[in-house]
Amino acid sequence: MQKRKLGNSNLEVSALGLGCMGMSMSYGPAGDKEEMIALLRAAVERGVTFFDTAEAYGPYTNEELLGEALAPLRDRVVIATKFGFNLDPQFDLKAERGSVGLDSRPEHIKQVAEASLKRLRTDVIDLFYQHRVDPDVPIEDVAGAVKDLIQEGKVKHFGLSEAGIQTIRRAHAVQPVTAVQSEYSLWTRDPEAELLATLEELGIGLVPFSPLGRGFLTGKINENTTFDSSDFRNILPRFTREARQANLALVDLLGTIAERKQATPAQIALAWLLAQKPWIVPIPGTRKLTRLDENLGAVELKLTSDDLREIDSDAAKITVQGARYNEQLLKLSGR
């Protein structure tokens, strides 16, 4: 497995990580615990060293899953988790009140760190992200709290998720940011506007989540696909039947390149991301060993400059239909 460094930091990880949220939530019922533990350990055996979770996933159960699965392999892996939500069961994360369930007060950050350490069965968190920017707490205070945790030896690296450019700069001035996590793929190219240049300037790595468009770019979803009632894609504008039908043009493009390269659409989508910058580390998620192996095959897939030009040229002619989030979720992004 090839390795990459996240920005100017000394944090070296596998070129592809594993996003673990879907094992516990969002994409239908949670996966079978023993099967997920076996999958996580299989990923390590295949060279994956970078695992992404959060206290909000489950909530809590995803961290517990990783803790159990990776404890025997702890010295071989980098675990990233996140803080920043109020997960009180009485607090509706979708409700229009307060800061929509956000809580990045320094005292709360430190409480979350202690709880996450226990669930992850470890004495240090390798990468601790603010899950979403909290407008009620100055980002300098957030960065300061994580700096304290780093000085105490409980955290190694600081990260931000879905943060805006100025927020990143302000945080980085207090405690160097190792990685920023944002949605980035062939159908969500927002980071290309300003984020990539800013991260390059500051020496910060990018960790794209949903690099396969929540499964859409694999070519396994079309306008007739139905999702489990608990699958959150049901509420996403980009996953309406009409949007899916229109967006298949992008999948067709990937399929054309894939056929020529004797690869799959998912592998082309991931290889394209890996080719954008050497400090980009995508974290596709899966519950299936076959999909894990398929995704990892993208690391060895080489797209030529001509391939990349063709993909960009043809993709530019396609207008992706539907917002990536609904209005409430969009309010939490890019602050």
**Interval 287-308: pLDDT, tens:** 999 999 999 999 999 999 999 9
pTM comes to 0.95
Cis peptide before 89 (omega within 30 of 0): no
Provide the pLDDT confidence category of residue 94 given band limits of 50, 70 and 90: very low
Q: What residues have CB less than 8 Å from 218, skipping those under 6 apart? A: 212, 264, 265, 266, 269, 291
The confidence band for 328, taking pLDDT boundaries of 50, 70 and 90, is confident
* Rounded mean pLDDT, 40-64: 97
Angle between helix 265-276 and 289-296 (nearest 10): 50
**Residue range 145-163: average pLDDT?**
98
Task: Could you list the beta-strand ranges (E) of the chain.
Answer: 3-5, 12-14, 18-19, 50-52, 78-83, 125-130, 155-161, 177-183, 205-209
CA distance 278 to 3: 10
Instruction: Specify the amino acid at residue 211.
Output: P
* Domain parsing of the chain, residue ranges: 3-212+277-301
* pLDDT score of 334: 74
154-173 mean pLDDT: 98
> What pLDDT does residue 87 have?
87
Range with the lowest mean pLDDT among 13-27, 176-190, 315-329?
Answer: 315-329
Report CA-CA distances (Å) from 1 to 45, 65, 226, 331.
Answer: 10, 24, 35, 37
pLDDT tens-digit map of 112-126: 999 999 999 999 999
* Section 265-272 average pLDDT: 98
* Three-point CA angle 303, 275, 280, nearest 5°: 155
What lies within 8 Å, CB to CB, of 294 at 6+ separation is 264, 266, 267
Instruction: Check residue 90 and give its pLDDT.
Output: 53
189 CB-near residues (< 8 Å, 6+ apart): none
By the 10 Å C-beta count (0-12 exposed, 13-18 middle, 19+ buried), 120 is classed as buried
Both tokens of 197, joined, read 């240049």
Residue type for position 34? E
pLDDT 10s digits, 200-253: 999 999 999 999 999 999 999 999 999 999 999 999 999 999 999 999 999 999
Task: Give how far Cα 109 sits from Cα of 17, 20, 71, 76, 249, Å.
Answer: 25, 21, 23, 26, 43
Domain spanning 3-212+277-301: which superfamily? NADP-dependent oxidoreductase domain (3.20.20.100)
| Residues belonging to the active site | 57
Q: Which residue has the tokens 């295949």?
A: 46
% the chain with pLDDT above 90: 91
Contact 125, 79 (CB under 8 A): yes
Query: Residue 10 and residue 205: Cα distance in Å, rounded?
Result: 11
Q: Residue 332: its pLDDT value, please? A: 80
